[in-house]
Amino acid sequence: MPKIDEVKEFIGFLKAIFILMIVIDTSLIAWIFKNFENESLGRLYIVVFIIFILCLVIAMLFSKILEEIKRLKDL
């Protein structure tokens, strides 16, 4: 497989993970808004922490995808 096709496949894989992380993050945010009054404060803090971690992962994936696109341009 040529190197350019390998990089394209890797970008596609990263995009799929990126979209999955955004969907999970959005679902957790919706869960917080729906269950804000009914859940304990500890559980809400745990979910907010998970959302924060997911946002960091999404930002890192985004930068990795952009890096791979720039690498693809150089091939």
Higher pLDDT, 36 or 24: 24
The rounded distance, in Å, linking the Cα atoms of 19 and 36 is 25
Tell me the mean pLDDT in the region 4-31: 95
* Helix 3-35 × helix 41-74 angle, to 10°: 160
Tell me the mean pLDDT in the region 27-33: 95
Name the token pair of 46.
């745990």
Name the token pair of 32.
């917080």
* pTM score: 0.85
